[in-house]
Amino acid sequence: MAGAEICETPKFKRKQKVVAVADLPGVPVGTVGKIYYEAGLRWFRYHVAFENGVELANVDGNDLVTVNEWKQRALDERRAQLEAEREARAGQLVVGSGPRAH
C-alpha cells in the first residue's frame, strides 16, 4: 500500500473489464482483465482474472484503468506523437528555408 492513494469509494465494480497500467506479476502493461471481487473499506483492492490466464488478488486500483480510459490514453499518446512529428517537420522547414547558394 506504500504510495497508494486512499479512496473512500471503489473505482471498479464486480465483472467490470479493466486494463493493467503497471507491470504486475505475470501480467504485462496493457493486459485486459475482469474484476471478480473487490475488498477494502478505505484502500480498495481487486481480485482480477486477466485474459492471459493469470489471476491476481489484492491488485491496487491505481494499477488498473477501465478499457475506455486505456483507449483514450492510447489516442492521447498517438496525438502527442503526431504533434511532435509535425513540429519536427516544421522546424526542419524553417531551418532549410534560407537562401540557397548556387
pLDDT digits (tens, 9 = 90+) for 8-43: 567 899 999 999 999 999 999 999 999 999 988 888
- Which residues, in sequence order, are CB contacts of 68 under 8 Å at separation 6+? none
> For residue 61, how far is the Cα from the chain centroid?
12
pTM to 2 decimal places: 0.73
Query: Which DSSP string corresponds to 27-41?
Result: B-TT-EEEEEEEE-S
> Residue 98 has what pLDDT?
54
Of residues 49 and 1, the one with the higher pLDDT is 49
Identity (one letter) of the amino acid at 13?
Answer: K
**Backbone dihedral region for residue 100 (phi beyond 0: left; psi -120 to 50: alpha; all else: beta):** beta
Distance CA 100, CA 21 (A): 50
Distance CA 101, CA 39 (A): 72
Mean of pLDDT over the chain? 86
